[in-house]
Structure 1
Amino acid sequence: MDYRVIKENDVFLLTDEKGNIPENHSYGAGLYTKDTRFLSKLDLRINGEEPILLNSEAQNAYMASILLTNPHMEKDGDLILWRESVELERKRFIANDVVYEKIRAKNYFPKPVTFTVNLHFDCDFQDMFVVRGFQHGDVGKRTGQSVTDNEMRFHYEGADEIQRTTLISWDQTAQTVSDAGYLDFTCTLGHEESQEIVLTIAPILNGEEPTILPFDVALEQVKESYRAWNEGVTKVKTDHPRLQRLLDQGITDLRVLLTDLGYGSFPVAGLPWFAVPFGRDSLIAALQMLPFQPEVAKGTIRTMAAYQGTKRDPWRDEEPGKIMHELRSGELANTKQVPFSPYYGTIDATPLYLMLIVEYVKWTGDTTLLEELDSSIEAALRWIDKFGDRDGDGFVEYYQEAAKGIANQGWKDSGDSIVHRNGDYAKTPIALAEVQGYVYQAKTGLAELYEGLNRIDLARKLSEEAQQLSERFEQAFWMEDVGFYAIALDQEKKQVGTITSNPGHLLFSNMLSKERAKQVSDQLVSNKLFSGYGIRTMAEGEAGYNPMSYHDGSVWPHDNSIILLGMGRLGHHEQANRVINGLIDSASSFEYDRLPELFCGYEKGERAVKYPVACSPQAWAAGTPLVFIQTILGLEPNVPKGKIFFSPSLPDGMKELTVENMKVGKGTISLTLKKKGQQTQLDVMSNTTGLDVQCASVISQG
Structure 2
Amino acid sequence: MEYRVIKEGDLFFLTGLDGDIAQGNEQGHGLYTKDTRFLSRMEVFVDGQKPSLLSSAGDKSYIASIRLMKEAKDDGAIEVLRERFIYDGVLYERMELTNYFTYDSNIEFAVAFDADFQDMFLVRKYRTGEVGAMEGTQFGERELTFSYVGADQMRRQTRIAWDHPEGKADESGSVTFSLPMKPQQRQVITFCIMPVSEQLEPAQSLSYEEGLRRLEASYEAWYEGSARVQSDSPHFNGLFQRSVQDLRMLTTDVGFGSMTVAGLPWFAAPFGRDSLITALFMLPVNPQIAIGTLRTLAAYQGEKYDPWRDEQPGKIMHEIRYGELVTTKQSPFAPYYGTIDSTPLFLMLIGEYYRWTGDLSLAEELKPNIMRALEYMDAELEAGSGFMAYKQEAEKGFPNQGWKDSANSIIHESGEFAESPIALSEVQGYVYQALKSLVPIFTELGDAELARKLEEDAGALKERFESAFWMEEESCYAIALDKNLRQVRSVTSNPGHLLMTGLPSEQRAKAQAGRMLEKDMFNGYGIRTMSTRSAGYYPMGYHNGSVWPHDNGMILLGLGKMGFREEAGSVISGLLKASGHFEYQRLPELFCGYDAELGYPVPYPTTCSPQAWAAGTAIVFLQAMLGLYPNAAKKEIALSPFLPEGMNELKAGHIAIGSGHLSVHVIRDADAGTDAAFKVEVLENTTGYTLAGASL
TM-score (ref. length: structure 1): 0.97
Q: Which residue of 2 aligns with 1:274?
A: 267
Q: Which residue of 2 aligns with 1:619?
A: 612
Q: Which residue of 1 aligns with 2:29?
A: 29
Worse overlay, 231-240 or 17-26? 17-26
Find the residue that maps to 1:641 and give its secondary structure. coil
Per-residue Cα deviation, 1:572-606 (whole angstroms, up to 9, x for no partner): 00000000000001111211110000000000021
Partner Cα separation in structure 2 for residue 208 and residue 432 of structure 1: 41
Partner Cα separation in structure 2 for residue 61 and residue 13 of structure 1: 12
Shift of 1:528: 0.8
Shift of 1:452: 3.0
Shift of 1:24: 3.9
- Contact 1:149–1:174, Cα closer than 8 Å, also in 2: no
Per-residue Cα deviation, 1:539-570 (whole angstroms, up to 9, x for no partner): 01111000110000000000000000000000
Per-residue Cα deviation, 1:620-656 (whole angstroms, up to 9, x for no partner): 0000011000000111011232111112111110111
Show structure 2 runs of 5+ residues with no match: none
Per-residue Cα deviation, 1:325-368 (whole angstroms, up to 9, x for no partner): 01000000011100000000000000000000000111111101
Q: Which residue of 1 aligns with 2:222?
A: 229
Partner Cα separation in structure 1 for residue 684 and residue 599 of structure 2: 42
Residue-pair matches, total: 689
Per-residue Cα deviation, 1:235-257 (whole angstroms, up to 9, x for no partner): 10011111111111100000000
Per-residue Cα deviation, 1:401-438 (whole angstroms, up to 9, x for no partner): 00000000000000110000010000000000000000
Find the residue that maps to 1:609 and give its secondary structure. coil
Partner Cα separation in structure 2 for residue 628 and residue 4 of structure 1: 27
Find the residue that maps to 2:667 and give its secondary structure. strand
Give the direction of change, closer, same or farther, for the CA distance of 1:294–1:464 in structure 2 (3 Å limit): same
1:649 aligned partner, one-letter code: F
Per-residue Cα deviation, 1:654-681 (whole angstroms, up to 9, x for no partner): 1110011111111111111111134111
Q: Which residue of 2 aligns with 1:87?
A: 79
Q: Which residue of 1 aligns with 2:648?
A: 655
Q: Which residue of 2 aligns with 1:148?
A: 140
Find the residue that maps to 1:56 and give its secondary structure. strand
User: Which of 452, 466, 469 is 2:458 aligned to?
Assistant: 466
Matched, 1:488 2:488: no
Q: CA RMSD in A?
A: 1.2
Give the direction of change, closer, same or farther, for the CA distance of 1:686–1:235 in structure 2 (3 Å limit): same
- Contact 1:139–1:159, Cα closer than 8 Å, also in 2: yes
Partner Cα separation in structure 2 for residue 390 and residue 219 of structure 1: 55
Show structure 1 runs of 5+ residues with no match: 73-80
Shift of 1:111: 1.8
- Contact 2:641–2:695, Cα closer than 8 Å, also in 1: no
User: Which of 137, 156, 161 is 1:164 aligned to?
Assistant: 156
1:333 aligned partner, one-letter code: V
1:502 aligned partner, one-letter code: N
Shift of 1:84: 5.1
Identical pairs, percent:
49
User: Which aligned pairs between 1:211-610 and structure 2 lie closer than 5 A?
Assistant: 211-386=204-379, 388-389=380-381, 391-604=383-596, 605-610=598-603
Partner Cα separation in structure 2 for residue 465 and residue 232 of structure 1: 39
- Contact 1:152–1:179, Cα closer than 8 Å, also in 2: no
Give the direction of change, closer, same or farther, for the CA distance of 1:93–1:83 in structure 2 (3 Å limit): farther
Matched, 1:639 2:636: no
Q: Which residue of 2 aligns with 1:184?
A: 176
- Contact 2:591–2:603, Cα closer than 8 Å, also in 1: yes
Q: Which residue of 2 aligns with 1:16?
A: 16
Q: Which residue of 2 aligns with 1:52?
A: 52
Matched, 1:133 2:161: no
Partner Cα separation in structure 1 for residue 291 and residue 393 of structure 2: 31
Shift of 1:483: 1.4
Partner Cα separation in structure 1 for residue 76 and residue 135 of structure 2: 41
Find the residue that maps to 1:427 and give its secondary structure. coil
Find the residue that maps to 1:579 and give its secondary structure. helix
TM-score (ref. length: structure 2): 0.98
Worse overlay, 22-31 or 600-609? 22-31
Q: Which residue of 2 aligns with 1:78?
A: none
Worse overlay, 665-674 or 556-565? 665-674
Worse overlay, 205-214 or 194-203? 205-214
Partner Cα separation in structure 2 for residue 481 and residue 664 of structure 1: 42
- Contact 1:645–1:694, Cα closer than 8 Å, also in 2: yes
- Contact 1:70–1:84, Cα closer than 8 Å, also in 2: no
Q: Which residue of 1 aligns with 2:660?
A: 667
Shift of 1:276: 0.1
Shift of 1:609: 0.2
Partner Cα separation in structure 2 for residue 25 and residue 650 of structure 1: 47
- Contact 2:640–2:695, Cα closer than 8 Å, also in 1: no
2:534 aligned partner, one-letter code: E
Shift of 1:393: 1.9
